[in-house]
Chain A
Amino acid sequence: MGPISRGFRRRRQDPAGSAGRVPPGQYVTKDFPVLSAGPTPPTALDRWSFSVGRGGQQKTWSWAEFRALPSQDVTVDIHCVTRWSKLDTAWQGVSVDMLLDLAGHDGPFAMAHCDGGYTTNLPVADLTGGKAWVAYAYDGQPLAPEHGGPARLLVPHLYFWKSAKWVRSLELRDTNEPGFWENYGYHIYGDPWREQRYAGD
């Protein structure tokens, strides 16, 4: 470890009302940082689709069909592995429970595939039971492209790299294969409350 930088403190805001809501090693931000591994993909809504399934068996929705599905308004805290947390974020989207039911598919694991090639893996148990959505609005507005619009996965109980931006499909699988960051050493599961940032944590 290098010399301590006199007077330097990492951000560690702990605003009133956040007790117990901030996982270890995180700080609370009022911003909504944009972190990406690539450029914002320009997906036209008339070419957007979302699919759930495995192999040749996919249930696919167009944008119009997707927006016609019953949606939920949820307010959740989100936690990024780069240490910022944002409390009380308001989203609108379709619950993954509903999408899996409509698709009639199951599987122990899923891989999210996104425009731009990003992937992330999750157990289906963490996508169901009211724990995950495909969200298309944030803070009452259509989800901005830099934040994952037209739609992103929203899985707030796990580190936010699992809430894949620009999501286009959930591929159901029998095995838990690592996605993009997981391949490079990030934790296969990613529970912020057990501080599972990296493999082996």
Chain B
Amino acid sequence: MAGTALRGRLTWQVAKVAAVADETASVRTITLDVPDWPGHRAGQHLDIRLTDEDGYVAERSYSVASAPGEPVAITVERLDDGEVSPYLTDELRAGDDLELRGPIGGYFVWEPGDGGPLLLLAGGSGIVPLRSILRHRERTGSTVPVRLLYSSRTLDDVIYRVEFDMAASGVEVVHTLTRHQPPGWAGYARRVDAALLAEVAWPAAGTPLAYVCGPTSFVEAVSQALVQDGYPPQRVKTERFGATGGT
């Protein structure tokens, strides 16, 4: 393998924070200026490494929120007892250095050639890589039909809400709000279960392709229900964050 050209891909490099933007009260998108970024695929992630003055190191993984071709961005949810996430959502600012490694991932990725129809299922901050897939689909002019089922605690917790409200043609967005719904809410108001999935998911007969991302319990429940509904396991791609997300 050629040496220098691939270093940015296989090793840690220092990026600069170009901008930070709050998505919700506890979620922030960080746009990065990455000098040796080789480009990425929709659905991939990168690893972040923080070092304190004593040399203590903390590493975490975050999905890339932007589409291939757009500036690299990650979206981070602040976990109250997290070690890394509060730093990224509250302290980090434009001009800061951020050490990262990536892009990473060859499984939870989508390209227009992979076809569909696409079923995207997000639990909380599991929406991030799916948003990259949606933006990639739009930027490439793909007409693969998409249904996004997005589970959040409350309407205020919905990330990229305005973007999804103006969803591109061929994209149906279905929200479920599990903890609290605004007055007059006519949408789903419970955790995703087999019955809800049966109403929203593409029928298995049409060879759909599913991407499920979120906390481990969400991904297990949803992926098992899809397989029980006839989705071939190899057509259900999963990415589990664990109970505490990306911390």
**Interface residues, chain A, CB within 8 Å of chain B?**
1-11, 31
CB pair B87 A10 closer than 8 Å? no
- Give complex CA distance A101, B91 in Å: 56
A10 touches B52 (CB 8 A): yes
Q: How far is the CA of A3 from the CA of B55 in the complex (A)?
A: 9
- B99 and A10 form a contact (CB under 8 A): no
Contact of A8 among B12, B14, B52, B81 (CB under 8 A): B52
Q: Are A2 and B87 in contact (CB under 8 A)?
A: no
Which residue of A5, A9, A11 contacts B98 across the interface (Cβ within 8 Å)?
A5
Beta-carbon contact of B87 and A8 below 8 Å: yes
Kindly list 9 other residue pairs between chains A and B, CB separation below 8 angstroms, not including A1-B51, A6-B96, A7-B87.
Answer: A2-B14, A3-B99, A5-B96, A5-B98, A8-B87, A10-B54, A10-B58, A10-B83, A11-B83
Min CB gap A19→B, angstroms: 19
Contact among A3, A11, A31 with B97 in the assembled complex (CB-CB below 8 Å)? A3
> B57 at interface (Cβ–Cβ under 8 A)?
yes
| Across the A-B interface, the 4 shortest Cβ-Cβ residue pairs | A5-B50, A10-B56, A2-B99, A7-B91
Pick 11 A–B contacts, CB within 8 A, sort by A.
Answer: A2-B12, A2-B14, A2-B57, A3-B97, A4-B53, A5-B51, A6-B97, A7-B91, A7-B92, A8-B50, A8-B58
Q: In the assembled complex, which residues on chain B have CB atoms less than 8 Å from the CB atom of A11? A: 83
Complex: A31 Cα to B81 Cα, angstroms: 9
Inside 8 A of A9's CB, which chain B residues have their CB? 52-53
Residues of A within 8 A of B54 (CB): 10
Inter-chain contacts of A7 with B (CB < 8 A): 87, 91-92, 96
Which residue of A is nearest B54, CB measured?
A10
When distances are taken between beta carbons in the complex, the residues of chain A under 8 Å from B49 are: 2
Minimum distance in angstroms from B72 CB to a CB of chain A: 18
**Closest Cβ–Cβ distance, residue B20 to chain A (whole Å):** 13
* In contact, B51 and A8 (Cβ under 8 angstroms): yes
Q: How far is the CA of A136 from the CA of B105 in the complex (A)?
A: 42
CB distance from B105 to the nearest CB of A (A): 22
Q: Do B51 and A4 touch across chains, with their CB atoms under 8 A apart?
A: yes
Neighbouring B residues of A10 by C-beta, 8 Å:
52, 54, 56, 58, 83
Q: How far is the CA of A158 from the CA of B26 in the complex (A)?
A: 38
Within the complex, which residue of B14, B58, B92 is in contact with A3, where a contact is CB–CB below 8 Å?
B14
Q: With A and B bound together, what is the CA distance between A10 and B58 in angstroms?
A: 8
CB–CB A1/B55 < 8 A: yes
> Can you name the residue of chain B whose Cβ is closest to the Cβ of A9?
B52
With A10-B52, A10-B56, A10-B58 known as contacts, the answer to whether A5 contacts B83 (CB < 8 A) is no
Report the separation of the CA atoms of residues A6 and B55 in the bound assembly, to the nearest whole angstrom.
12
Give a binary string over B40-82; 1 marks a CB under 8 Å from any A CB, 0 the rest.
Answer: 0000000001111111111000000000000000000000010
CB-CB nearest in chain A for B97: A3
Q: When chains A and B are docked, how far (Å) is the Cα of A118 from the Cα of B139? A: 50
Bits for B213-243, please: 1 = Cβ < 8 Å to A, else 0: 0000000000000000000000000000000
Please give, as numbers and ranges, the residues of chain B lying within 8 Å of A1 by CB-CB distance.
51, 55
Cβ-closest chain A residue relative to B57: A2
Q: A3 to B56, alpha carbons, bound, how many Å?
A: 11
